[in-house]
Each structure stands twice: as structure tokens, then as C-alpha cells.
């Protein structure tokens, strides 16, 4: 299953605001478990971080809900490979998603951050709290080894 969302601030200045896209893919991790891969693309800043927080929360809640006949989720990977910019409000959105996932007893990891995004994650110490993997495949392997 794949979902795609595009978000930005709903105001008259939306064309000058950053845009962020979110694509969800369920990935088979073997042993009857799946992981959720959330691929973000674009820029995360104050104009769309609230929207992103709501979307991440909804997706995490959905992943933690056990559905009849559905494979259990082994966790969530947020792929930042295509994120070009992330400010403090974006870091806050990621931390809120991590805390929400913890409440749902669902591991959440970050993957693929490069350049300025990787730098800001490491400078703020987020990588000390949230697992940060070089690529989404590495994060998925780490999640599947936990099951």
C-alpha cells in the first residue's frame, strides 16, 4: 500500500512557502511482520511542520492499530533522503513523531539524511535519541532484526 500527500501552509503566500511531500509504503520484513516506510521530500520549515506533525501522528497511530488479518508492524522508518532543508520546527516535528511512536510502542528510526539535514540532526543531538541510519534499507534491516 502506498499513500502520497503534499503539504504546505494554506494561505495566500503558499507559493513562497516550503513544500513537503510524504509517501507511505508498507514493507515486508519477513517472519510475518511489516515496517512502514515514510519517505519525505522537499523542505521542512515553520510553514509546513505543523501539517507534517499531524500527518506523521496519524500514520503512526494507524500503524500501531492491530487490524484483523494484518501483519504486525515492526516499526516506522522516516526516510529523509530527498529532504533538502529542515529547520528547528522540522526537528520538533520529528521528535514529536518519535515520542508518539514510543507511546504506541512502535520503534521509529530516521534514514538517509545528507548534507545540511544530516548536519542539523547531528548538531542538535537528535541522533543521540533517534536512531539515524545511512539508508532506509539499513533502517529496515535494523527493525526486522528486532522481531
- Domains of the chain: residue spans and CATH: 2-146 (3.30.750.24)
pTM score, whole prediction:
0.83
In this prediction, residue 3 has a pLDDT band, given cuts at 50, 70 and 90, of very low
- pLDDT tens digits, residue range 77-91? 999 999 999 999 999
List pLDDT tens digits, range 4-42: 444 444 443 444 567 888 888 878 766 666 788 999 999
Q: What is the pLDDT of residue 4?
A: 46
Q: How far apart are CA 142 and CA 122, in angstroms?
A: 20
Q: Quick one: cell of 59? A: 500514520
Give the Cα separation of 111 and 39 in Å (integer): 9
- pLDDT grade for 48, boundaries at 50, 70 and 90: very high
Q: Is pLDDT of 113 > 90?
A: yes
Q: How far is CA 2 from CA 26, 27, 38, 59, 67, in A?
A: 7, 10, 10, 12, 17
Amino acid at each position: 500500500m502506498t499513500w502520497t500527500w503534499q503539504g504546505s501552509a494554506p494561505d495566500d503566500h503558499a507559493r513562497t512557502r516550503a513544500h513537503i511531500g510524504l509517501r507511505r509504503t508498507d514493507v515486508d520484513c519477513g517472519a510475518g511482520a511489516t515496517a512502514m516506510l515514510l519517505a519525505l521530500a522537499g523542505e521542512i520549515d515553520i510553514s509546513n511542520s505543523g501539517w507534517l506533525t499531524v500527518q506523521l501522528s496519524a500514520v503512526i497511530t494507524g500503524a500501531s492499530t492491530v487490524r484483523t488479518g494484518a501483519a504486525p508492524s515492526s516499526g516506522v522508518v522516516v526516510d529523509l533522503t530527498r529532504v533538502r532543508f529542515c529547520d528547528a520546527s522540522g526537528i520538533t516535528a520529528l521528535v514529536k513523531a518519535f515520542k508518539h511512536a514510543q507511546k504506541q510502542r512502535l520503534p521509529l528510526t530516521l534514514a538517509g539524511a545528507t548534507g545540511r539535514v544530516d548536519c542539523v540532526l547531528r548538531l542538535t543531538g537528535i541522533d543521540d535519541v533517534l536512531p539515524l541510519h545511512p539508508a532506509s534499507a539499513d533502517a529496515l534491516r535494523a527493525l526486522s532484526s528486532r522481531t
